[in-house]
Structure 1
Amino acid sequence: MHLQKKGVRVLGIAESFASRKTSVLAGVVMRRDRRIDGFRCAAVTVGGVDATDAVLSLYAEMDRRDINAIMLSGCVIAWYNIIDPATVAEKTGLPVVVVTYEDSTGLEEDLAKHFPGDSDRLERYRDLGSREAFSLHTGHTLFLRAFGIDFREAGRLCDIFTLDGKIPEPLRVARLCARGVMHYTQNWR
C-alpha cells in the first residue's frame, strides 16, 4: 500500500448501541486528505454472532474498488458480537486494522460469565490473537491487531489518519454517524 498517496482510502467502521436488540454499525470511506466520499450503515444483533457478516455486507453494499484498507473500531462489539478480521481481510482482499484505545487483560472471563458453555464464541475471541501497542505522533497509544498488513504499516496508517488525540478520523467520523443514526432510529419509533 502506498501510504504517501493522498488518494489512499480507508473504510472506517464503528458502532453504537444502548441496551437494545440491535446495534448500528456505520462505515465511512475517507481519503488521506480527510475527504469523506462514502457512507453506509448496517445493523448487528446485540449479543449475537452476525458482526462479521454485517461488516462484509456493509463493504459489499458500497461496491467500491478504490478502498485500500479497512479500519475497525474494535472487533468485540454489540455486547460480545465478535468480528472476525481475518475473514474480513480474506473475503474483501483488503488489509484490516483493528484499533482499540485501552490496554486490558482480555475478555475470556467475561465471555465465560455471560455466555456459559459457548465454546464457539470463546474460540472466536481467542482466534483474534493479541494486540500490540503503537505510539501515535500525538503522544497517545493505540492497541492494534493487523490482518493482511504488517503491524508497523498498520500503525503508520493509523498515524496518518489521526489529526489529534487518539482516534483515527475514519473511526471518529464513523462513530459519530453510528450515534446519529442510532439516536434518529430510537426517536423514530
Structure 2
Amino acid sequence: MHIPKKGLRALGIAESYAGREHSTLAGIVMRKDRIIDGVAFSRVTVGGMNATDGILAIVNALDRRDINVILLSGCVIAFFNIINPALIFDQTTFPVICVTYEVSAGLEGDIRHHFPGDTARLDAYRRLGTRIPHILPDGQTVYLRSWGLDPADAGRLCTAFTCEGKIPDPLRVARLAARAAHSFVM
C-alpha cells in the first residue's frame, strides 16, 4: 500500500451507544489530506450479534471501490456485539484495522458474566486475536488488530490518519457523526 499518496482513503466506522435497544454506526470516508467524501449510517442491536452486518451495510450503502482501508473503533461494540473483521475483509477485500485505546486484560470474564453459556459469542471474541501496541509520533499508544495487511502497515496507516491525539481522524469524525445521528433518532 502506498501510504504517502494524498488521495489514500479510509472508511472510519464508529458507534454511539447510550444504553438503548440500538446503537448507531456512522461510516466516514476520509482522504489522507482530511477531505471527507462519503458518509453512511446503520444501526445494530445492543447486546446482539449483528455488528458485522451493520458495518457491511455501511460499505454497501457507500458502494465505493476507492477505499483503501477500513478503520474500526473497537471490535466489540454495543454491549458485546462482536464484529467479525475477517469476514468484512473477505467480503469487501478492503484491509481492516481495529483500533482501541486502553490497556486491557480482555473481555472474556465480562462476556461470561453477561452472557452465561454463550459459547458462540466467546468464540467470536477469541477469534479476534491479540492486540498489538503501536506508538504514535506524539508518544501515545493505540492497540491494533489487522486483517489483510501486516501490523507494521496497520501502524503506518494509523499514524498517517492521526493529526493529533490518539484517535485516527476518520474514527474521530465518525464518532461525532454517530453521536449526532443517535441523538437525532431517539
TM-score (norm 1): 0.98
Residue type at the aligned position of 2:73:
S
In the alignment, the residues of structure 2 paired with residue 63 and residue 152 of structure 1 have an alpha-carbon distance, to the nearest angstrom, of: 28
For residue 82 of structure 2, what is the amino acid of its counterpart?
I
- Structure 2: runs of 5+ lacking an equivalent: none
Structure-1 residue corresponding to 2:13: 13
Q: Identify the residue that residue 24 of structure 2 maps to in structure 1.
A: 24
5+ long unaligned stretches in structure 1: none
1:74-113 aligned at under 5 Å gives the runs 74-113=74-113
Equivalent position amino acid for 1:174 in 2: A
Aligned-residue CA RMSD (Å): 0.5
1:136 counterpart letter in structure 2 = L
- For each residue in 1:69-104, what CA deviation from the matched residue of structure 2 results, as whole angstroms up to 9, or x when unmatched? 000000100000000001101110010000000010
| CA distance, structure 1, for counterparts of residue 65 and residue 143 of structure 2 | 28
Identity %: 56
Q: Structure 1 CA distance, aligned partners of 2:160 and 2:179? A: 24
Q: Deviations over 1:14-66 (max 9, x none)?
A: 00111100000000000000000000000000000000011011101101010
Find the aligned partners of 2:87 and 2:138 in 1 and give their Cα distance: 31
In 2: Cα distance, 1:128 partner to 1:165 partner = 25
- Where do 4+ consecutive residues of structure 1 move more than 4 Å? none
Partner of 1:116: helix, strand, or coil? coil
- d(CA) in 1 for partners of 2:19 and 2:57? 23
Q: How many residues align?
A: 186
Q: Distance in 2 between matches of 1:154 and 1:17?
A: 26
